[in-house]
């Protein structure tokens, strides 16, 4: 009987590999909206594991939110550790091969509204000759950013542990007191006075029992995934002169009419180019729908499909795109790009109305300025909910989106913070993840210094320290 029960639980996971349309994941997402079974351990249980020395601040995830949090905390003198599943900091910008960071400025403007570690990192890359940075964005060589982040981590004094991920959350009396980390060493308990969840998908707070939401409020579907890939042999000057539109819709429509391309996408989302590698392009084009970023089988299916799409693009580029007649695939990213996973239920929830209305907040930690960018959840292209603002658009991000409504000792940072599905379309991009991480790292240390929980941090002190570390918090901080 026990064997029968195990089989019934295992078969659906196995079937997920063979269902490219993702029906199973769609059903799971609808069932999982607003809930999760927490896997938390008590402190007593965790102490049965090998225990490493305690830290002040542990950051789970080393992407734009995670390294920003780690650098900020370490610069305040806190003993800080970043735990990262890949072999580099940077997340989607490095392991995910998205070698283009935007938007640092107000929309369609040269007025910069983002500072802090995410701005500093791009500057370091430019200074060392691995890319370019403007007030609006940055384009760079991926290896250059990896090197810059390793060096910045060393300069800040933050510890980094690669090839490791958080497997469980340790909670005592409603407060996170550490995490269990899985690595080649096995499972070990990492005690921490404060934990920052910068996993992108809220893995830490979900396992700690904090409430959250997943996907579109009506369907439960998340935005599609993209596997970035890099091509060489490109004559970018010829491509740029020939290209008549950003999305190049007419090109892909013709290729599909002629039977040369499956209809997985109808517009390119980005050809990322840097002058330091003039014949290379980073391609943001693959499009994998109905995949759940919190399920290993879905990530596996999406990655396999993404590689297939990338390979299929090369003959299409050669035949239909001027300047790419001799292009070739260099590699696909080792980390698939996920736009949406869990979203925390925090003490404050950023909404579409807040974004569109350019709302200001008393507990502001920085600015967002990207358009509401919602990729189609059930087909190619973009959703009707996508919204593009007027030039100069920006809104403030409140500190409350990082604080769980019912769990202490922890802050969220990055795209897993508290917001609705549509607000996330703007908030999820790398500069804003950096803003959130910067604030979470500073707040974690200030809460320890003052002997309070993160929800009770002195906002004026938080804002002052963010500014001291180069953050842009309010309109009076913004310069051209």
Give the Cα separation of 35 and 58 in Å (integer). Answer: 25
Note the pLDDT of residue 3. 37
Instruction: Report the length, in residues, of the chain.
Output: 480
Cα-based distances in Å from 276 to 131, 162, 178: 6, 28, 42
Do strands 337-338 and 328-332 pair parallel, antiparallel, or not at all (unpaired)?
Answer: unpaired
Question: Nearest 5°: CA angle at 91, between 328 and 17?
Answer: 70
Given the structure tokens 């996408």, which residue do they identify?
A: 265
Q: For the chain, what percent of residues have pLDDT higher than 90? A: 90
Closest alpha carbon to 66 in 84, 79, 93, 52: 84
Which residues in the chain show pLDDT less than 70? 1-39, 480
Give the Cα separation of 84 and 67 in Å (integer). Answer: 10
Contact 230, 281 (CB under 8 A): yes
Give the Cα separation of 166 and 36 in Å (integer). Answer: 17
Contact 425, 386 (CB under 8 A): yes
Both structure tokens of 346: 């925090």
Note the pLDDT of residue 373. 97
Note the pLDDT of residue 188. 98
Domain ranges in the chain are: 51-217+341-477, 225-338
CB atoms < 10 A from the CB of 186, how many?
Answer: 9
Contact 402, 409 (CB under 8 A): no
Given the structure tokens 């982040």, which residue do they identify?
A: 149
Note the pLDDT of residue 40. 86
Do strands 175-183 and 165-172 pair parallel, antiparallel, or not at all (unpaired)?
Answer: antiparallel
Please give the class, per CATH, of domain 51-217+341-477.
Answer: alpha beta
HSE-CB at 183 with a 13 A cutoff on CA atoms is 19
- Sign (positive or negative) of CA dihedral 229, 428, 305, 336: positive
Note the pLDDT of residue 27. 41
Q: Give backbone dihedrals phi and psi of 225, rounded to 5 degrees, phi first.
A: -95, 160
């Amino acid at each position: 009987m026990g064997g029968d029960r195990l089989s019934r639980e295992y078969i659906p996971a196995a079937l997920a590999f063979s269902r490219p349309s993702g029906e199973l994941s769609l059903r799971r997402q609808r069932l999982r909206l607003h809930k999760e079974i927490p896997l938390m351990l008590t402190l007593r249980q965790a102490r049965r594991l090998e225990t490493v020395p305690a830290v002040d601040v542990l950051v789970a995830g080393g992407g734009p939110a995670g390294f920003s949090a780690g650098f900020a905390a370490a610069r305040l003198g806190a003993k800080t550790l970043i735990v990262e599943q890949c072999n580099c900091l940077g997340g989607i910008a490095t392991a995910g091969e998205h070698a283009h960071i935007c938007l640092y400025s107000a929309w369609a403007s040269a007025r910069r509204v983002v500072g802090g570690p995410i701005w500093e990192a791009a500057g370091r890359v430019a200074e060392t000759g691995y890319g370019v940075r403007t007030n609006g964005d940055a384009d760079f060589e991926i290896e250059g950013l990896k090197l810059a982040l390793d060096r910045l981590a060393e300069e800040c004094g933050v510890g980094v542990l690669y090839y490791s991920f958080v497997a469980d959350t340790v909670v005592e009396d409603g407060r996170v007191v550490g995490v269990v980390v899985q690595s080649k060493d096995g499972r070990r308990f990492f005690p921490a006075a404060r934990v920052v969840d910068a996993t992108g998908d809220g893995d830490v707070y979900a396992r700690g029992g904090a409430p959250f939401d997943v996907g579109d409020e009506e369907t439960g579907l998340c935005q599609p995934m993209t596997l970035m890939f890099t091509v060489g042999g490109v004559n970018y000057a010829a491509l740029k002169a020939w290209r008549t539109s950003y999305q190049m819709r007419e090109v892909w429509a013709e290729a599909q009419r002629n039977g040369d391309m499956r209809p997985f996408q109808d517009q390119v989302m980005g050809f990322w180019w840097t002058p330091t590698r003039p014949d290379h392009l980073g391609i943001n084009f693959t499009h994998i729908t109905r995949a759940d970023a919190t399920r290993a089988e879905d990530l596996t299916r999406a990655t396999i499909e993404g590689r297939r799409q990338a390979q299929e693009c090369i003959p299409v580029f050669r035949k239909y795109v001027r300047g790419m007649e001799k292009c070739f695939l260099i590699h696909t990213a080792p980390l698939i790009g996920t736009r949406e996973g869990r979203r925390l239920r925090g003490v404050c929830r950023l909404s579409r109305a807040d974004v569109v209305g350019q709302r200001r907040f008393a507990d502001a930690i920085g600015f967002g300025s990207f358009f509401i960018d919602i990729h189609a959840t059930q087909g190619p292209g973009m959703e009707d909910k996508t919204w593009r603002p007027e030039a100069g658009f920006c809104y403030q991000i409140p500190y409350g989106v990082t604080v769980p409504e019912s769990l202490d000792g922890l802050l969220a940072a990055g795209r897993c913070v508290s917001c609705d599905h549509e607000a996330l379309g703007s908030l999820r991009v790398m500069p804003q993840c950096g803003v959130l991480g910067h604030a979470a790292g500073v707040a974690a240390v200030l809460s320890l210094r003052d002997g309070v929980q993160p929800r009770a941090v002195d906002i004026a002190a938080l804002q002052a320290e963010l500014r001291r570390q180069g953050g842009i918090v309010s309109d009076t901080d913004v310069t051209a």
